[in-house]
Chains A and B, each alone.
Chain A
Amino acid sequence: MIWQLDLAILTLVVIVGIGAITVKDLLGAAIMFGAYSFMMCLLWSIMGAVDVAFTEASVGAGVSTVFFVAAVFRTTRRTKD
């Protein structure tokens, strides 16, 4: 485990996580969640949990982002609060 890489990705996870809840555009939030999942996937693979990383990449970063985008497309792009 390279700690510099670990720290960089952890920082990005936090930034993307805060970004996902503060951004007003829901489509942007969906993409942020995708990025978050991808960062988590990198973290899992750094820690050697390749199976979990694979699941995170396919489900979290892939399909669930598509579901979010589809839901935003059928509802509204702006949040109420």
Chain B
Amino acid sequence: MKITGLIIAVLTGALLIYATADFPAWGDPASPASTHVSPRYIEKTIEETAVPNMVTSVLADYRGYDTMFETTVIFSAGVACFLLLRIFRREEPEERLYRHVLTGVTIHVKKGGKLPPSDDFERIDTEWTPHDLIIKTMCRLLIPFIQLFALYVIAHGHHSPGGGFQGGVMLGASVIVLAMSQDLRTAVRRLREKVDALLCATGVFIYAGTGALCLLLGADFLNYRALAPLLNVDPIMARSHGIFIVEIGVGIAVMATMIWIYSNVSSSGKYDEGL
């Protein structure tokens, strides 16, 4: 069986490599895509949308419908993880571990047991969790800068590489870093599960809502020119601003989904003990 699989894989690979010989060469100016598709965008993007980064304008404006459903795919991935993994049955764990912060002594609390009344105990995961001051402090120092850079990536997507998707992933990663360096409960306390799920849907709603707003104002779906009277700018700048609104939606949706998937997978749906 393994041999058959190997033969099939090698044959398909060889066929694919053979087929790539028919592709136009890298950067070939005479290739079909470069003769009439790309020049249209390269020449007209600035005058039509006032966005210097062509990739952003193609993604969020010319091919905005495509990106909307990409965001929806991300959202569905989050919902699928939630539906498959989340366990709502509240079951008391067999044993909880608490660390006495001042002395570093770990105590085991059996099911139904009570903790001595003191604020010096912190709950720790049952898996191996070293008390690592360096990692915790470094993450605490880095997270604000990661988030700031993520916001920059979202807001500066018009001029440089980046945009809602990348910025959203980085925002999500900053919370994941918090969950990994402290524990999942700390991260969930900062961003509750319900808020996270709501944000996830809000992002998609912002995107689709912008499109629907254009429809209501008498233009095509996702034709941001129609937003000009609302934003009080000319139609070309309205397209630029429309792209920005949509990117924010993408950013929120992607950030929330990444955190949602991470918390569900790492705690196997219990939201109690994470990675």
Contact = CB atoms under 8 A, between A and B. Distances in A.
Interface string B38-76: 000000000000000101100000000000000000000
A66 B176 CA distance: 9
Contact of B173 (A58, A69, A71, A73): A58
Contacts of A66: 173, 176, 180, 262
Interface majority SS (helix, strand, loop, mixed), chain B: helix
A69 B112 CA distance: 33
A47 interface: yes
A55 B265 contact: no
Contacts of B161: 50-51, 53-54
Nearest to B177: A66
Interface string A31-62: 00000000000000001001101110011001
Given A47-B26, A51-B162, A70 B262 contact: yes
B172 A71 contact: no
B266 A63 contact: no
Interface string B155-173: 0000001110110011011
**Quick one: which of A47, A50, A53, A74 has the most chain B CB within 10 A?**
A74
A67 B262 contact: yes
Nearest to A68: B265
Interface in B215-267: 258, 261-262, 265-266
B266 A70 contact: yes
Interface majority SS (helix, strand, loop, mixed), chain A: helix
B268 interface: yes
B162 A74 contact: no
B162 A54 contact: yes
**Quick one: which of A51, A62, A73 has the most chain B CB within 10 A?**
A51
A73 B266 contact: yes
Contacts of A54: 153, 161-162, 166
B167 to A, nearest CB: 9
B268 A58 contact: no
A67 B165 CA distance: 17
Contacts of A51: 53, 55-56, 161-163
A74 B268 contact: yes
Contact of A74 (B56, B165, B173, B266): B266
A51 B170 CA distance: 14
A38 B275 CA distance: 23
Interface string B166-188: 10011011001000100000000
Task: Identify the 3 closest CB pairs spanning chains A and B, nearest first.
Answer: A70-B266, A50-B161, A58-B169
Interface of A: 1, 47, 50-51, 53-55, 58-59, 62-63, 66-67, 69-71, 73-74
28 contacts: A1-B26, A47-B26, A51-B53, A51-B55, A51-B56, A54-B153, A54-B162, A55-B165, A55-B166, A55-B169, A58-B169, A58-B170, A58-B173, A59-B165, A63-B176, A66-B173, A66-B176, A66-B180, A66-B262, A69-B275, A70-B265, A70-B266, A70-B275, A71-B265, A73-B266, A73-B275, A74-B266, A74-B268
Interface of B: 26, 53, 55-56, 153, 161-163, 165-166, 169-170, 172-173, 176, 180, 258, 261-262, 265-266, 268, 275
